[in-house]
């Protein structure tokens, strides 16, 4: 029996459900000598803003039990340099390229970025990063269902490419936000982004990262992410990309069984650059061992 690993995320077709998460894979060229990029389902770029960003002051990362904290602050060269210097490199990866975009101050910047990128070839989809916890903002777009709806709807009008909306776990009810994004026209939902966290150096009595707080990622947040994927799966019809602490194929399967159509591998890339490739192989072995022809049959198959 030949296994079918392909999945659909709206109009976006992937040969397998495993992609490299934004911010953990650079612009793909950094990993080109460490694994076969063509094996991936897709690559998500580092988040791009209209203007170049230096990012937050160092130290910007620290290791925590079963995870890491980061407060990078969306360091990137800005949209013009991205198009001129980074996009050509991403196109050479041989897999669908998803470009992550964000605003620095005004949500209207999402519309400007989407309109600019919509005209370009070699971009399969846009990921709306409305949930980065490492900017100096009192409230994220993704913490307000009305703001989420307005932003996604505005981008939807300006862009014909597949839209993925990345949601925050730092909310009381993530299904509210998911439903708002779906209603506004998002083709897919990605969840979750990092969880607010802090780590303290007890000898210096100072935070271990300069900004004080940051985003927690890695295995520590996986149970939270799996639970949120399941909650959202029960409420929406939109495909879901599961993110959060995926280190092995077993982790990926938890997300898929909970309701994810695809998964995005993040922190694992820092631990083992070949982890995404190993996860893809592990998913294939699981399908063969359980005589499952199509991986889509596993999505949402949790027995409750």
The answer to whether residue 132 is catalytic is: yes
Beta bridge partners of 216: 69, 195
Burial of 287 (0-12, 13-18, 19+ CB in 10 A): buried
Token couple for 199: 């780590």
Which ranges of 12-144 would DSSP assign to H, the alpha helix? 79-81, 87-91, 108-118
Which ranges of the chain would DSSP assign to H, the alpha helix? 79-81, 87-91, 108-118, 145-158, 174-184, 222-233, 249-258, 268-271, 275-289
**Is the N-terminal amide bond of 39 cis, ω within 30° of 0?**
no
The whole-angstrom separation of Cα 189 and Cα 31 is: 26
Set 62, 132, 159, 188: catalytic member:
132
The whole-angstrom separation of Cα 33 and Cα 208 is: 32
Cite the active site residues.
Answer: 132
């Amino acid at each position: 029996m030949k296994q079918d690993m392909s999945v659909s995320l709206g109009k976006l077709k992937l040969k397998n459900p495993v992609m490299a998460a934004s911010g953990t894979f650079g612009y793909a060229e950094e990993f080109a000598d460490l694994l076969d990029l063509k094996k991936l389902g897709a690559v998500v770029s580092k988040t791009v803003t209209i203007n170049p960003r230096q990012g937050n002051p160092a130290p910007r990362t620290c290791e925590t039990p079963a995870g890491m904290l980061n407060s990078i602050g969306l360091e990137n060269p800005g949209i013009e340099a991205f198009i001129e210097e980074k996009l050509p490199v991403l196109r050479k990866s041989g897999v669908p390229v998803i470009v992550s975009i964000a605003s620095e101050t005004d949500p209207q910047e999402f519309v400007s970025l989407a309109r600019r990128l919509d005209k370009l070839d070699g971009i399969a989809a846009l990921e709306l990063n409305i949930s980065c916890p490492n900017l100096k903002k009192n409230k994220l777009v993704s913490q307000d269902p009305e703001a989420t709806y307005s932003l996604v709807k505005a981008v939807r009008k300006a862009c014909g490419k597949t839209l993925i909306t990345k949601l925050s776990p730092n909310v009381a009810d993530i299904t509210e936000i998911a439903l708002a994004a779906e209603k506004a026209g998002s083709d897919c939902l990605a969840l979750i982004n990092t969880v607010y966290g802090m780590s303290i150096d007890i000898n210096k009595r100072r935070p271990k990262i300069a900004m004080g707080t940051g985003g927690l990622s890695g295995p520590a947040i996986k149970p939270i992410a799996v639970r949120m994927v399941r909650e959202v799966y029960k409420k929406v019809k939109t495909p879901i990309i599961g993110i959060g602490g995926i280190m092995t194929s077993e982790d990926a399967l938890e997300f898929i069984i909970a309701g994810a159509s695809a998964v995005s591998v993040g922190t694992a890339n820092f631990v083992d650059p070949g982890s995404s490739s190993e996860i893809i192989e592990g998913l294939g072995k699981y399908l063969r061992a359980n005589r499952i022809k199509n991986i889509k049959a596993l999505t949402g198959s949790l027995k409750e």
